[in-house]
Amino acid sequence: MINKEKKKIYIEEMKEFFNKTSSVFVTHYQGLTVKQIDNLRSEMRKHGILFKITKNRITKLALGNSKFKKLENLFTGPTAIAFSEDPITSAKILTKFAKTNSNLKIIGGLMEEEPLSVEDVAKIATLPTLTEARANIASILVVPAQKIMSILLAPGSKIAILALSKSKKN
């Protein structure tokens, strides 16, 4: 049993986590070993994600009037929360871990004040991360530049032939 002072500290700590993040994923972890939970936490920590086992009744108090109030009904049973600014990476890690550890159940979440079902979380997990999306865009932009460079770096005779053919068309 937690005394009143510890409850207040816990509630304030949870309120701070809820206020600082833009996405939350709620899971049930019943049946996972301490080592499995530590491995999941470690993997998430590498990406700046906090994975925290919660006390449901007290967490519901911490939700209060926050943007995550809609999640209140998900807090039953052995619950853990992933707090993140990068929902795609969170969803990817949780989904991958849940595939190899059937005891981790993703219940739902909230991203930018939009409730997410289990199916939504699975869809988000298939999206490219911000870094992957930037790399894809950069590769698309590089191809035309490479073509221009190959023309400019071609021997003078090829440029002359190209110029001659262009002038004959006009």
pLDDT, tens only, 23-69:
899 999 999 999 999 999 999 999 999 999 998 888 888 888 778 88
In the chain, where are the structural domains located?
4-125, 130-169
Q: What is the pLDDT of residue 170?
A: 58
Q: What is the pLDDT of residue 72?
A: 86
Q: What is the pLDDT of residue 151?
A: 65
Alpha-carbon span 133 to 164, nearest angstrom = 41
Q: What is the pLDDT of residue 152?
A: 65
What is the tens place of the pLDDT at every residue in 57-101? 888 888 887 788 888 888 988 999 999 988 888 999 999 999 998
Shortest CA distance to 77 belongs to which of 49, 57, 94, 47?
A: 57
Q: What is the pLDDT of residue 164?
A: 74
Residue 119's SS3 state is helix
Q: The domain at 4-125 falls in which architecture?
A: 2-Layer Sandwich (3.30)
Q: What is the pLDDT of residue 133?
A: 77
| pLDDT, greater one: 51 or 145 | 51
Q: What is the DSSP pairing of strand 105-111 with strand 23-28?
A: antiparallel
Percentage of residues in the chain having pLDDT higher than 90 = 31
The model's confidence at residue 134, banded by pLDDT at 50, 70 and 90, is: confident
CB of 103 within 8 A of CB of 27?
A: no
Shortest CA distance to 57 belongs to which of 98, 99, 2?
A: 2
Q: What is the pLDDT of residue 116?
A: 87
Averaged over 3-13, what is the pLDDT? 86
Residue 160, pLDDT > 90, answer: no
